[in-house]
Amino acid sequence: MGCSHSSLEQDEHHPPGGPFMLQLFRRRRGKDCSTTSTTELLRRDNPHTSANAPRGDWKGRNGRSKLSVVKEEEEERGGSAMRSNKEELPGSPSFRFYFDTPAGASNNDVDSMIDGDYVLTTMHFVGRTMLGFARRRIGCGGFGSSILGQTLERIRPMASVLPRNYSTAAKEMTVRDALNSALDEEMSADPKVFLMGEEVGEYQGAYKISKGLLEKYGPERVVDTPITEAGFTGIGVGAAYYGLRPVVEFMTFNFSLQAIDHIINSAAKSNYMSAGQISVPIVFRGPNGAAAGVGAQHSQCYAAWYASCPGLKVLSPYSSEDARGLLKAAIRDPDPVVFLENELLYGESFPVSAEVLDSSFSLPIGKAKIEREGKDLTITAFSKMVGYALQAADILSKEGISAEVINLRSIRPLDRAAINASVRKTNRLVTVEEGFPQHGVGAEICASVIEESFEYLDAPVERISGADVPMPYAANLERIAVPQVDDIVRAAKRTCYRAAP
């Protein structure tokens, strides 16, 4: 029985031959590809074409047939990122594999290798952009065993072709956009998620993190509040008691002190005091730490404050991957999460892989990331200080010192195992943070290493932190009140017994 399907067209810049990736989704028999629950995600190349336009010979560039799968919000921003629409196949497993097509093979040869029980949704040259999209009707007859055998012989392990790291990065994303997309996707996936705070709606957020959300979800789910942190934080905690998932935004975490009774006594302790009967799935998020020229009352780091309280989880992202993956994890978590962002990182761009851009992506809470491997010393940092630590590591490498940089990501729970494993390898430790030195995050890390890995240390631990004073307003004093790259380099040299002023 013949198959009716659209042709898969080759991009003129990428001739046949070479590694391809095919993404296949199994579909129930009798279901036609065009009758899905998410036809709004199927568009012509022209993003203004109606999703209900007749299916047929959809023309792409140069008159070629081409279907695109793009997220609606990417269309609105004029983006061109493409992804497979997994949502249209609930409960159906996906299959992804790689194979080499012989030089000179035609598109029909490639198309004929696909079983009629599957839908070919994406086709990639490895490490390049998407070439095309094809769909096949179910109900087609199977294909010969010889073709199947040829196809299976070409299958290669996915990891051998496309390692799961930044080498797969197809685009860059700012931390601001990473947070915005995470909020958008979680609000779309769960109607119980809502955002509230000062200027999050009409003004689209003081830092534009909530841009476009009011228009998309309405004022019942993007709630502008009065300037009363105690009031709207208490409302948020009460909503979480009843099973909703509030995301409470503070314009700066310095203002969270107005609401600290609700955060600590109402949110953090309720699960324990109710013997597990009350869950409080709430996220408190906003910029934390020093910005620039805003004085002592707007510049404090509260990581150590909140991390000292049982019942809270405290996260602090550095990159766009961190911001997107950790915020998604925080919103999905059943416990209260304090999510500490950094104002100066919002506009920074980082490479993101296709895996990070997937709507199902999230990062585990309580796991650190080794940003750079090394053998001579370990540097731990979080938030903006991770970037400083990486810069210091680059400088040290030119002087023959190999530094391992650990991005903590999670302050509570702290990934003590990763920290101690690194110290046992490098035998030296430098901790870096913006907060005050006394009772800080670095102090807790030092205690953990002394308790668990003391015999592995070849030098005293070095602790880099903010100055033990309220943040000065004068720019020259502000600079020396927070850690700088040179401070980390000098500390690293000291712990390696190199001459350092």
* Active site amino acids: 229, 298
Q: Which alpha helices (DSSP H) does 140-285 contain, by range?
A: 145-154, 158-161, 175-189, 213-217, 229-241, 260-261, 270-273
Query: Which secondary-structure segment (H or E) carries 390?
Result: helix 384-397
Euclidean distance between CA atoms 294 and 284, whole angstroms: 22
Euclidean distance between CA atoms 421 and 97, whole angstroms: 35
**CB contact at 8 A, 374 and 405:** yes
- The amino acid occupying position 145 is S
Start-to-end CA distance of the chain, whole Å, equals: 81
Residues 6+ apart with CB under 8 A from 425: 375, 378, 404
β-strand 245-249 against 283-287: which pairing, if any? parallel
**CB contact at 8 A, 256 and 302:** yes
- Output phi, psi for 46, to 5 deg: -80, 110
Residue 169, both tokens: 């990065």
With CA atoms as reference, report the closest residue to 411 among 321, 326, 472, 320.
326
Euclidean distance between CA atoms 215 and 204, whole angstroms: 10
The strand pairing partners of 432, in sequence order, are: 464
Euclidean distance between CA atoms 8 and 120, whole angstroms: 10
**CB contact at 8 A, 207 and 251:** no
Classified as helix, coil or strand, 478 is: helix
Residue 396, both tokens: 């040290």
- Output phi, psi for 321, to 5 deg: -60, -45
Give residue for tokens 């015999």. 455
With CA atoms as reference, report the closest residue to 483 among 355, 386, 413, 408.
386
How is residue 262 annotated by DSSP?
I
β-strand 118-125 against 18-26: which pairing, if any? antiparallel
Classified as helix, coil or strand, 443 is: helix
Classified as helix, coil or strand, 340 is: strand
Euclidean distance between CA atoms 262 and 268, whole angstroms: 8
β-strand 171-174 against 94-101: which pairing, if any? unpaired
The angle subtended at Cα 243 by Cα 205 and Cα 333, nearest 5°, is 70
